[in-house]
């Protein structure tokens, strides 16, 4: 029997309260079939009236005249899918509050606001006077609508612009399809309660359901298939899955929305050494995070070990995110991992990321293609598995002047790259750039001519990943002589 260990009193007493103080109680209130009144015909009233009608309320707008937005809203009110909108062409009065669930007003001055507020209080009706916090018993939050999933954000009136910014962030994280998934869950809840035992079995179903809700478009068939899978004996249930996720060059803002959703749905994250902490912070807190870094010139995790970890976790039913710097399909060994997983019948998906060369071009303000200078772009690996230049590179093709070439992982072979290109006929004065730690805080840049590449690379050092760009398009980003130093960028 396990022994229950208690904490010393002085530690137990420091245990925080379960709920910190709240500025307001967040409540989701059903207004279906309820009568609400809105006093005023302004655009602000139109927005509140539309919101209330969307909740299924019958909205009576008291105003002698309606503004354009309210007029349009009332004209379309008869076709509203849930509630109704009715114009009462008169000022509000005491009798209007009878049997009302909510009262909202847009008042020109404090006196009118106070009269409306006190009348609503006498009638026992919750009241909100727009933009006058002193006369509000409740507030409207900033809303993310995936109904029946509804998210509301409040700053207690302190910073409405902050609430709007938070809403925009949440909007990007919640796929539009979540609305359909939630409705589907609602329709299947009773059936699932009958077919699956409460506890671990039912919880496992909903966890798998949620994973799919953030990854795919909903169909009733796929949910029913999931239900059938959960009813199978444990040894015969389907395995988990692996998603190869492009983390971009470092800055978390370069991530795609789909990549963020994949991180937040993952049980296990196997991440590269170059993936930033900023990116990992976007992952689900409960996810297991394992560094499987592979860096040139350093002791690295073997590819075979990474493959085995992905397989082991997936066979255990886990949702695995293989988080790769840049784009998984560009020098990311994705082909080897996909082949290995498919060989073992593990479902695998790829979410592309912004590759380092694209980020470099953006940071330099240079287009990798140009009608006058480059009609093609070439991405080339700067080292083989043995650490030197790959033998199969066609240097004659790389030396064509009307192409832009970007070498990945070419820091230690920069001298050989310079010699090979010159030998293949590329002019020694061809513009070249070196960028290390692209889109990270310690990013460094150098620009010059091909003939100076090896010397510049030696000056910059080999401790950070670098890109070498070669081609006429880089003539536009020549730095001043004093800037051609291996100093972190700051301007």
Active-site residue list:
272, 294
- Does residue 148 have a cis bond before it (omega within 30 degrees)? yes
d(Cα 313, Cα 302) in Å, to the nearest integer? 17
CA–CA gap between residue 437 and residue 332 (Å, rounded): 17
Phi-psi region of 131 (alpha: psi -120 to 50; beta: other; left: phi over 0): left
The two tokens of residue 437 are 């730690």
Q: What are phi and psi of 240, to 5 degrees?
A: -75, -155
Residue 339: how many CA atoms within 13 Å on its side-chain side?
A: 7
Other beta carbons within 10 Å of 382: 24
Task: Give the burial class of 203: count Cβ atoms within 10 A of its Cβ; 0-12 exposed, 13-18 middle, 19 or more buried.
Answer: exposed
Q: How many CB atoms lie within 10 A of CB 190?
A: 9
Q: How far is CA 80 from CA 77, 110, 264, 312, in A?
A: 5, 33, 36, 52
Whether the Cβ atoms of residue 399 and residue 421 lie closer than 8 Å to each other: yes
Q: How far is it, in rounded angstroms, from Cα 426 to Cα 418?
A: 9
Helix ranges (DSSP H) in 247-302? 257-265, 277-280
Q: Reading across the β-sheet that carries 241-246, which strands appear in turn? A: 288-291, 268-271, 319-324, 241-246, 348-351
Structure tokens at 26: 């967040």
d(CA 100, CA 103): 7
| Residues 214 and 208 sit within 8 Å (Cβ to Cβ) | no
CB proximity list for 486: less than 8 A, separation 6 or greater: 444, 446, 459, 460, 461
Nearest to 307 by CA among 350, 336, 272: 336
The DSSP H or E segment spanning 169 is helix 160-173
Q: Ramachandran region of residue 8, left (φ > 0), alpha (ψ -120 to 50) or beta? A: beta
CB 184 within 8 A of CB 148: no
């Amino acid at each position: 029997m396990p022994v229950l260990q208690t904490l010393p009193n002085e530690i137990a007493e420091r245990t925080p309260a379960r709920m910190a103080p709240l500025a307001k109680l967040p409540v989701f209130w059903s207004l279906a079939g309820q009568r609400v009144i809105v006093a005023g015909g302004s655009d602000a009233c139109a927005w509140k009236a539309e919101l209330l009608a969307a909740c299924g309320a019958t909205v009576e707008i008291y105003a002698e005249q309606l503004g354009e937005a309210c007029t349009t809203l009332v004209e379309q009110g008869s076709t509203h899918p849930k509630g109704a909108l009715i114009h009462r062409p008169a000022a509000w009065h005491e009798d209007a509050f009878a049997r009302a669930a909510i009262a909202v007003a847009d008042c020109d001055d404090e006196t009118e606001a106070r009269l409306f507020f006190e009348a609503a209080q006498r009638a026992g009706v919750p009241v909100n006077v727009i933009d006058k916090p002193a006369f509000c018993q409740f507030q409207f939050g900033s809303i993310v609508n995936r109904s029946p999933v509804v998210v509301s954000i409040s700053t207690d009136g302190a910073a409405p612009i902050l609430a709007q910014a938070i809403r925009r962030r949440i909007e990007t994280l919640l796929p539009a399809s979540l609305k359909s998934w939630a409705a589907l869950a609602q329709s299947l809840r009773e059936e699932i309660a009958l077919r699956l035992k409460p506890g671990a079995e039912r919880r496992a179903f909903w966890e798998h359901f949620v994973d799919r809700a953030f990854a795919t478009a909903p169909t009733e068939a796929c949910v029913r298939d999931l239900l059938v899978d959960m009813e199978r004996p444990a040894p015969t249930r389907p395995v988990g899955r692996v998603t190869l996720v492009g983390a971009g060059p470092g800055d978390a803002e370069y991530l795609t929305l789909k990549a963020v959703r994949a991180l937040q749905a993952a049980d296990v994250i196997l991440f590269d050494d170059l993936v930033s902490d900023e990116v990992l912070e976007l992952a689900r807190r409960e996810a297991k995070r394992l560094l499987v870094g592979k860096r040139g010139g350093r002791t690295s995790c073997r590819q075979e070990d990474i493959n085995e970890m992905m397989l082991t976790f997936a066979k255990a039913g886990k949702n695995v995110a293989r988080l790769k710097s840049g784009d998984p399909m560009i020098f990311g060994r994705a082909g080897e991992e996909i082949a290995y997983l498919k060989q073992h019948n593990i479902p695998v998906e790829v979410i592309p990321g912004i590759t380092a060369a694209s980020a470099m071009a953006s940071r330099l303000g240079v287009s990798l293609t140009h009608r006058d200078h480059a009609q093609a772009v070439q991405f080339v690996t700067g080292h083989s598995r043995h650490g030197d230049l790959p033998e199969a590179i066609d240097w004659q093709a790389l030396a064509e002047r009307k192409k832009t070439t970007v070498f990945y992982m070419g820091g230690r072979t920069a001298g050989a790259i310079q010699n090979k290109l010159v030998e293949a006929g590329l002019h020694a004065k061809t513009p070249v750039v070196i960028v290390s730690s692209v889109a990270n805080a310690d990013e460094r840049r150098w620009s010059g001519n091909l003939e100076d590449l090896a010397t510049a690379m030696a000056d910059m050092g080999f401790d950070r990943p670098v890109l070498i760009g070669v081609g006429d398009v880089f003539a536009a980003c020549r730095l001043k002589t004093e800037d051609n130093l291996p100093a972190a960028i700051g301007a």
